[in-house]
Chain A
């Protein structure tokens, strides 16, 4: 599994208060959960892993590369699934959007088509391949956003609340898919049960990393905080 290192990371947006304060942590487990209240800094923390946010102080490294100057290289191995699928889907139709992420792999057109077809099948989106993305339901969009990232076979998959819009059966589907993925997964979620079986869970509170533990203990800490 790749090694993600935060060293004394502190960050504020503009003149605002610090949204992350003095965070130092190394992550290399297969399954890592991140929990905490609204505005506690979870999304900012994971955005730092692929360099979408570069910290004002401190460094973030992935396999030794710093996000400050190797962001492009890092993004090739770090897939990111955003909370709001509408902003993540960039192409007009479902199949086209899945194919978009495969551009950078420089594989043949037939292989692109095969991979797109296979992933749409896995995520139950096969019937929707040629549908305009904006006509999908919220949950279908979330599935599409995830499929579009997974298809590129990243080494690390960051999921920022990927199940907020999903019904029970699709939540189960996502959970099963995530379980089967042979890569490092970093999951931000308010659905605490999704962290069952995870190796490690971080708890954020007001910009600070207040607990770093097994999911069970971490959940207890989190519940005590709120």
Chain B
């Protein structure tokens, strides 16, 4: 999960675009494809997403990883729409979603969290920006903890047990949160 939305350093034109422009473009495309239901618009969004993906020159490994995750969702949704509303609607909904996921993937892979945060800061306050960053960091930490807890279970020859998984995960997450709170104080968050 955490690798899907990870900044990947690069010098492409998409990397160099200001964060604000990218987020704005993403917002405009999301809103128009959802609000105005026209097949040509979906096609245009897909073409835009494809162009952005090519221009961003992201590593193939990342794209494959992203698309492995996206295709399942897009496929399921498209299949369902095809059965209920026919192919035109399926193209529009699944195509629109695919375009948005691809664009979101390109934006997050080519924009440093700091830039996104600075944007949040300009639109609100610095604390909001830092809080968002903390959220991102915490998701990554809990994800790692979950992997460690699962690995520990496997190493002890245990099968999957929800209780044996959830209890240590919650305990360790809380301990981590305590530590994080202390670190924030020590590092001058309240200054």
Give CA–CA (A134, B9) in the complex, Å: 17
Query: Which A88-146 residues have C-beta < 8 A from chain B?
Result: 88-93, 95-96, 99-101, 103-104, 130, 132-134
Give CA–CA (A91, B117) in the complex, Å: 11
B186 x A75 contact (CB < 8 A) = yes
Query: Which B151-191 residues have C-beta < 8 A from chain A?
Result: 176, 178-180, 182-191
A50 x B186 contact (CB < 8 A) = yes
* Nearest chain B CB to A146 CB, angstrom units: 13
Known: A52-B185, A52-B186. A90 touches B140 (CB 8 A): no
> At the interface with chain A, which of B27-35, B43-51, B67-75, B130-138?
B130-138
Give CA–CA (A152, B189) in the complex, Å: 13
Interface size on A, residues (CB 8 A): 30
Write out the residue numbers on chain A whose beta carbons fall within 8 Å of the beta carbon of B2. 132, 134
> At the interface with chain B, which of A23-31, A76-84, A177-185, A196-204?
A76-84
B187 x A101 contact (CB < 8 A) = yes
* Nearest chain B CB to A79 CB, angstrom units: 8
* Nearest chain A CB to B178 CB, angstrom units: 8
Give CA–CA (A84, B182) in the complex, Å: 12
A72 at the interface (CB under 8 A from B): yes
Known: A93-B112, A134-B141. A82 touches B183 (CB 8 A): yes
Write out the residue numbers on chain A whose beta carbons fall within 8 Å of the beta carbon of B191. 72, 75-76, 103-104
B137 x A89 contact (CB < 8 A) = yes
Closest to A106 in B: B191
Write out the residue numbers on chain A whose beta carbons fall within 8 Å of the beta carbon of B178. 87
Known: A52-B182, A99-B114, A132-B6. A104 touches B188 (CB 8 A): yes
Query: Which B109-131 residues have C-beta < 8 A from chain A?
Result: 112-114, 126, 130
A86 at the interface (CB under 8 A from B): yes
Give CA–CA (A87, B189) in the complex, Å: 14
A88 x B179 contact (CB < 8 A) = yes
B140 x A134 contact (CB < 8 A) = yes
Q: Which of B9, B114, B137, B191 has the most CB of A within 10 A?
A: B137
Closest to B9 in A: A130
B137 x A133 contact (CB < 8 A) = yes
Give CA–CA (A74, B21) in the complex, Å: 42
Known: A101-B188, A134-B144. A88 touches B133 (CB 8 A): no
Q: Mark B7-30, 1 if CB is under 8 A from A, else 0.
A: 111000000000000000000000
Known: A130-B112, A134-B2, A134-B141. A90 touches B184 (CB 8 A): yes
B188 x A76 contact (CB < 8 A) = yes
B80 at the interface (CB under 8 A from A): no
Interface residues of A (CB under 8 A from B): 50, 52, 72, 75-76, 80, 82, 84, 86-93, 95-96, 99-101, 103-104, 130, 132-134, 148-149, 152
Interface residues of B (CB under 8 A from A): 2, 6-9, 112-114, 126, 130, 133-134, 136-137, 140-141, 143-144, 176, 178-180, 182-191
Given A80-B186, A92-B140, A93-B113; 7 other pairs, CB 8 A cutoff: A52-B185, A75-B186, A88-B179, A96-B112, A104-B188, A134-B140, A152-B188
